[in-house]
Amino acid sequence: MSLLDRVLAEIAPVYQMRRTAARMNILQLERLSASYDAARRSRRTQGWLTDGGSANAQTRNDLLPVRERSRDLVRNNPYASAGLDMLVSYQIGTGIVPRSKTGDDALDQLHDALWEEWAPHSDIAGRLDVYGQQALMARTRSESGEVLTFCLPLPYDDMRRRGSPVPLALQVVEPDYLDSSIEQDLAGGAVIRQGVEMDRSGRPVAYHLFRHHPGEPGRMSWSGGDTRRVEARYLLHTYRQDRPGQLRGVPDLASVMMRLRLLDEYEDAAMMQAMAQACVAAFVTSNGGPATGPLESGKPGAADAMLRQIEPGMIERLLPGESVDFLVPSGSGAFPEFTRHQLRAISTGYGLTYDLMTGDLSNANYSSLRAGRLSFKRRLESAQWLMIVPQWCQPVHRAFVSAAQSVGRLPARPTWPVEWGPPHFEMVDPLKDTMALRMQLRLGITTWAQAVAEAGWHPKRQAAELAEVNAMFDDLGLILDGDPRRTGNGGTAQDAAQNADVEIAATGVAGG
C-alpha cells in the first residue's frame, strides 16, 4: 500500500476499500487480454491468488506463524524431524574445519593448533565445542529460517577462568530475539526494518533485540521498550536469501508444510480405518421372533437382546431362518503409492532425496542412488559455500584471529587465508568411485591434496602420517600389497631388487 492508501485506510476505510476494488477490476480487465497464459484471468487461473509484495512485505506478517508451524512439525512429524537431522548431518557433519593457507608452514601449524585448542571453549555456556555450535546453528537456521550468533569478546580474567586460549566466545540464539515490530526511518537515509538497522546502502549496522526470549515463561517481552541495540560486528545473522533485498529467512519446510500436515491427517484416518476393520463384526439376520436363536441371548425380561460374543474354536448351530453376515475389510486402497508420491514431493521441497528423507531403499539401485546423490551434492555444496561458510564460518574465523592477535597468540597480518574442509561425502559404491577418482588423479583433473580434503582429512597431516607409517614399515622390512611404492596393481613387485634391499636393511635377510 502506498502512503495515500494507508492514510485513507485510517480516516476513510470504506472509501479506500472501494478504490481498491475498482483498481482490482481494472487489473482483471487487463489480464483478460494478457499475452501470457499464466497472466490471464480464465477458468484455469480462477482462485489463483497472488501477492506482488516485496520479500520483506511477505515475511513481515507471515514469518512468525510459518516459523511456529515449522517447529511444531519438527517436534511431532517423524519425516520433518528425520529430514532436518539428515540435512544438518550432511551440511555440517562433524564440523567444517578451517585449514591455514598462509604459505608459511610454521604459521599454518601455529594457527591450526590454536584453533583446535580454542574449539572446546568456544561456547559461552560451556556445553558445545565450535563444531557442535556449527550444527546447532545449521539446525536452527533450517527449522526457523534464520539464526543469530553472538561473537562475545571476553575479559582477560574471564578467559583465564574458562581455560580458553583466546578471549572470544560464541552464543547461538533463536531469531525470536529479533524485534520485528521496530520499523523506523533514520537520518542520512538509514532505516530500521523488522528490527534490522541498515545504512543508506542497505548494509546491516545493528540489530534490535529483546533482552529475553519472548516465549520464555514469565518473560513476556513483546513490547518495543524491552529491547537493546547490538552492533552488527558482534552479531551474525545467518539465513538463506532467496530474493534481492530480503532481510529475514524463511524455514526450509515452508513450501511443504501443508503436505506434511495433510499427510499426517491422512495417515491418522488410514490408521483409524485399519483399527476399525481389524475388529471382527457380524450381523445376525433372523426370520423368527426376538431372542429365539442361539446367537441371541438376553436376561429374562430384558428389553434388548444382546449378541453372543464370538470366541476362538466356537461352533454354533443356527436355527432355520438365521444367517450371519461378516464385515469384510475394504483394504488400504491406494494408501502406499499415494504416501510415497507425497513423500517424494516433500523430499524435493526439503532439499533431500527420497531415500535420505524416508530411509526407503526398496526401489533403489546403484545408478538411481548415484544420480540422486549427485544432484543432492550440488544443492548441499550451494548451501555450504554460498550461505554457511560466508555468513558464519568466515566471520567467526575473523573474530577468532582478531582475538588471538589481541593477546599475542597469533602474529599480526592484514588477512589470514584459510581453506575450509566440509564433511566427507560418502561414496555410493566405494570400489567404483575410488577407481574413478584414481583416473581423475592420473589425468590431472584433481590433485592428491584436493582428493584428501574432499575425504575430510587435512592434506598436510595426511602426508606426514603417510611418511611416518612408510618409514616404520621400511624399518621393519614390511612390504604390504597396498603400498604403491613397492607393489603394483596386480600385487607384483615394482622393483624386486629395491624390495630385497629394504628387507635386508631391516632384517639382514631377503624374503623368498
pLDDT tens readout for residues 214-259:
888 765 544 445 889 999 999 999 999 999 999 999 999 999 999 9
Name all contacts of 113-120 with Cβ < 8 Å and 24+ positions apart.
114/165, 114/166, 114/404, 114/409, 114/410, 115/400, 117/165, 118/164, 118/165, 118/166, 118/168, 118/400, 118/404
- C-alpha–C-alpha distance, residues 24 and 17, integer Å: 10
Residue 216: C-alpha distances to residues 27, 172, 212 (Å): 46, 16, 7
pLDDT at 221: 45
| Torsion sign, CA atoms 55, 232, 213, 93 | positive
Geometric angle at alpha carbon 142, from 141 and 145, rounded to 5°: 60
Mean pLDDT of the region 72-81 = 94
Q: Is the pLDDT of residue 279 over 90?
A: no
Closest among 422, 356, 409 to 383, alpha carbons compared = 422
pLDDT-derived band at 304 (thresholds 50, 70, 90) equals very low
Average pLDDT over residues 47-74: 88
- pTM, to two decimals: 0.77
Instruction: Indicate if the pLDDT at residue 387 is higher than 90.
Output: yes
Per-residue pLDDT tens over the stretch 454-499: 777 778 888 888 888 888 888 887 777 777 777 766 666 666 676 6
Judge whether residue 407 has pLDDT over 60: yes
> Which of 456, 395, 440 minimizes the C-alpha distance to 150?
395
Beta pairing partners, 424:
none
More confident of the two residues 265 and 508: 265
Residues facing 197 on adjacent strands: 192, 206
Crossing angle (nearest 10°) for helices 496-507 and 459-476: 70
Q: Where are the domains of the chain?
A: 3-39, 60-252
> Does residue 90 or residue 272 have the better pLDDT?
90
pLDDT of residue 472: 87
Q: Are 214 and 220 in contact (CB under 8 A)?
A: yes
